Amino acid sequence: MARFPRPSTPRSLYTLYTSPSKTTPSHSHTHSHSHSPTAALLLLRHFSSGSLARAASKDEKEPWWKDSMSRLRNIGISAHIDSGKTTLTERVLYYTGRIHEIHEVRGRDGVGAKMDSMDLEREKGITIQSAATYCTWKDYQVNIIDTPGHVDFTIEVERALRVLDGAILVLCSVGGVQSQSITVDRQMRRYEVPRLAFINKLDRMGADPWKVLNQARSKLRHHSAAMQVPIGLEEDFKGLIDLVQLKALYFHGSSGEKIVTEDIPANMEALVAEKRRELIEAVSEVDDKLAEVFLNDEPVSSTELEEAIRRATVARKFVPVFMGSAFKNKGVQPLLDGVLSYLPCPTEVSSYALDQSKNEEKVTLSGTPDGPLVALAFKLEEGRFGQLTYLRIYEGVIRKGDFIHNINSGKKVKIPRLVRMHSDEMEDIQQAHAGQIVAVFGVDCASGDTFTDGSVKYTMTSMNVPEPVMSLAVQPVSKDSGGQFSKALNRFQREDPTFRVGLDAESGQTIISGMGELHLDIYVERIRREYKVDATVGKPRVNFRETVTQRAEFDYLHKKQTGGQGQYGRVCGYIEPLPQGSSTKFEFDNMIVGQAIPSNFIPAIEKGFKEAANSGSLIGHPVEHLRVVLTDGASHSVDSSYSQILCSGCNSL
């Protein structure tokens, strides 16, 4: 597969003639559109004879993709339920010109927000599936994934954050840091995603952004500071003061599209000075360059501060906090500027793959189109035209009609159609390069598969899939609809790794398992709507788990004398909880010094502890995040056997 676009004079001319003038993300862009046919003719003359060779050598120093990659952002919008994620995305699409009118999530017009394309989403006013879109802001291309807030759909957030370079964590100014905010933040840490925080709903009664900021510091352990100060709160919320540029911003027009910049109100100058100093202090704690300026008591310019915030945010040492009200159309444009200014482009984020030909050795990917194709299928969806596979391209270029290799299955497949997604709408494209998020049709694969051009055998690390927590017995009302029912369950299992289907051996019923009651209810409703199959549903059964909360010693003696060979085994040690966030569920350590218990009995003891952990003492559910340490014991040369030692291990728990 060719790795570079074919160089040609028309291509070079087109690139030069259409390339936008460079702008810095923090300043408003003013372009000069003074291109003319004469200029094009001069460019053509410039590329004639020896000039083309000189231009080619210059291009070698400055790759063709460099400007395009630096002007690309991949971001996700995540938060707790009803914090305003979809409303914020709707405003972003409106201000960037992707949509021409704003519709609310539960609007009276019945249209619903653009990113909530499913009928169920519009009826219930919640996001069920993550939706991808793209837009352009100040000559930067921004790919956005809007994710659900309910914990039931946590896999949608998980796989979105797995492939994104940056994120916006939306917090409600009244509710503050809530349960799902903590879950989402943990997922962002897991995938090492730099983030901005956006305190939304400043127009609501009881809004207190400073309380929320302190909660983010204490509950989420964010090293953060406010980037803005609101001018008024609740009903009096009028605008924002930018602490970097030291300007007051007011949002006029029917949809807040006209930004008016004014001087800081005199009655707020003291508060602004205090909050700006707080911002500089917070950033200088994690950025040496700014710390030097700050400690020397030199004035910090807005450019120096902006650069320091970017360095600290990209390094995940600092979280800039923006404010506003998406519903009232205030504060969204400065947040977009913040995405460009402070979140990384694809080349600034380090990604690595596992080389299957070298025993899964870690390989750092360049993240540029200048290499072999490496792409991860992170989401599957059954569309009108067959299976739609969402791909994040980490390296190389993908073209329509190319053959690509599925490293996980070993299959070679052709790409019949390549599209960019805008919620449920598609735009056909001919090619895409590293850093972009695209979708392909007609490619049979599973979620988490890695595709390459065949020149390398790399696989990307898979995403974390949580275990189901609730089960339901479900069966179709009509026996004739069994085929459609099975088809629906198979499709949903492929699309959603947290949705599992099993068969109860005793009753013969179909058991569906998922992340919660809402999760399973939505799937039962989708089976009814999309496959016209009515199903009867049994009572929910919760898959509880038990764990230990603190260290406890054990010393158990198993001794039985029944005439003839007796039974004897003794085990001593302690159990303790594994560290929080540990991926292992059970750990066994043998710390016996000497031969108190012969080494051939140790596997039996471990097996006994594992069997005992399958049923806890509280309610009989499996015990997880448990570490068992064996420190001493005793055995008998005649009366001890494998089964008795195993029994000792079982009973000691």
Q: Is 582 annotated as belonging to a binding site?
A: no
- Tokens, residue 146: 């809007």
150 annotated binding-site participant: yes
Q: Give 389's contacts (C-beta < 8 A, 6+ positions apart).
A: 377, 379, 380, 439, 440, 441, 443, 445
The CA distance from 561 to 576, in Å, is 33
Torsion-angle region of 58 (φ positive above 0: left; ψ -120 to 50: alpha; else: beta): alpha
Cβ pair 103, 113 in contact under 8 A: yes
Q: Is 148 annotated as a binding residue?
A: yes
DSSP β-ladder status, 500-503 and 425-428 = unpaired
Q: How far is CA 73 from the centre of its chain?
A: 14
With tokens 């300043």, the residue in question is: 27
Furthest-apart CA pair in the chain: how many Å? 110
**Beta-carbon contacts of residue 418 (< 8 Å; ≥ 6 apart):** 398, 399, 400, 428, 429, 430, 431, 432, 438, 439, 440
E strand spans, 515-648: 535-537, 541-542, 552-560, 567-577, 586-590, 626-634
Contact 627, 589 (CB under 8 A): yes
* The pairing of beta strand 258-262 with beta strand 541-542: unpaired
- To the question of whether residue 297 is assigned a binding role by annotation, the answer is no
Q: Identify which of 119, 124, 80, 88 has the alpha carbon closest to the alpha carbon of residue 106.
A: 124
Q: Is residue 201 a known part of a binding site?
A: yes
Residue 149 marked in a binding site: yes
Write down the residue that tokens 């079982």 correspond to. 650
Tokens of 555: 């010393």
Q: Nearest CA to 149 among 166, 130, 164, 167?
A: 130
Identify residue 6 by its one-letter amino acid code. Answer: R
> What is the 8-class DSSP label of residue 227?
S
- The DSSP string of 157-203 is HHHHHHH-SEEEEEEETTTBS-HHHHHHHHHHHHTT--EEEEEE-TT
Contact by Cβ (8 Å): 77, 147: yes
**Beta-bridge partners for 228:** 242
Is 83 a known ligand-binding residue?
A: yes
* Residue 313: both structure tokens together: 């945010």
Instruction: Say whether 203 counts as a known binding-site residue.
Output: yes
Nearest-angstrom CA–CA distance, 486 and 387: 17
Phi, psi dihedral angles at 417 (to 5 degrees): -150, 135
Distance CA 476, CA 482 (A): 7
Structure tokens at 443: 């490619």
Residues near 332 by beta carbon (within 8 Å), at least 6 away in sequence: 88, 91, 92, 95, 256, 324, 326
Please give the Cα distance from 356 to 393 (Å, whole number): 19
80 annotated as ligand-binding: yes
Q: Is residue 85 a known part of a binding site?
A: yes
Measuring CA to CA, how many Å separate 71 from each of 139, 378, 396? 7, 23, 17
**C-beta of residue 516 within 8 angstroms of C-beta of residue 152:** yes
Give the other-Cβ count within 10 Å of 211's Cβ. Answer: 15
Q: According to the annotation, is 202 in a ligand binding site?
A: yes
Question: Residues comprising the binding site?
Answer: 79-86, 146-150, 200-203
Question: Residues comprising the binding site for GTP?
Answer: 79-86, 146-150, 200-203
